[in-house]
Chains A and B, each alone.
Chain A
Amino acid sequence: AQTVTQSQPEMSVQEAETVTLSCTYDTSESDYYLFWYKQPPSRQMILVIRQEAYKQQNATENRFSVNFQKAAKSFSLKISDSQLGDAAMYFCAYRSVKSSGDKLTFGTGTRLAVRP
C-alpha cells in the first residue's frame, strides 16, 4: 500500500517570502499522480497543483511550484511571494494510475501560517 508522509505539522512564513512544504511517499509503482491540496478554514478542499510521475518537468501554477524527485520519492511544494490568503492546511496526495480505483491517499497535512 502507498503511504504519504508530511513531516512538518506546522510552518510559518512572512508575507511576500517563499516557503517550501515537504512531502515524501512510498510506492512500488512507476506511474502515478501526485497532488497538493489546500484546505482553508472553510474546509473546502482546493487543488493547488498536480504532477504526473512520467513527466520530468516540475509542475508550476503561478506562485506555486513543485520539486518532484522521483528517485527520492519526494514531492515538495514551493509557495513564492506568500500572501495572507495562502494560510491554510496543505495536504499532499498520491493516486495510482493502475490500481486502487482512483483513490487518493493523503498525507497528514501541514498547517501554514502567514505573518503580515
Chain B
Amino acid sequence: GAVVSQHPSWVICKSGTSVKIECRSLDFQATTMFWYRQFPKQSLMLMATSNEGSKATYEQGVEKDKFLINHASLTLSTLTVTSAHPEDSSFYICSEKGGGNEQFFGPGTRLTVL
C-alpha cells in the first residue's frame, strides 16, 4: 500500500502556543486528505476533509479557527493547532486517498499540551 508519513511523531508544548503537524504522501498523489483525532481508548473521530487547493470541510463541532488545515499540494497537508490547551492533547492521525477506494493512514502524532 501507499506510504504516508507524519511529522512530528510526538510533540509537547506549552499552553497557548501553536503546533503544526505535517502529513505527507511519499509515493502517490493524494487528491483528498483527512484528519482524525483519537482520544485514549476511543475510536477515530473525523475532524476535517481537504482537497488539494480547496478549503477544508470541517465536521460539526470542530472549530475551524482553532484547527487550521492547509492542503497546498498533492503530497502535503498540514494541521495547525492554534493556541493549544491541555484539552487539545490527543493523538492526531491523517489519512490520504488517491484514485482508488482505500485510505492510507499516517502513523499519527501524539500531542501533549502542558
Contacts and interface: CB of A to CB of B under 8 A. Distances in A.
Q: Is the interface of B mostly helix, strand, loop or mixed?
A: strand
Contact-size category for A: 20 to 34
A3 to B, nearest CB: 12
Contacts, number: 47
A91 interface: yes
Interface string A25-53: 00000000100010000111111001000
A44 B107 CA distance: 5
B43 A104 contact: no
Contacts of B42: 108-109
Interface stretch (B18-26, B80-88, B91-99): B91-99
Interface of B: 1, 32, 34, 38, 42-46, 49, 57, 91, 93, 95, 97, 101-103, 105, 107-108
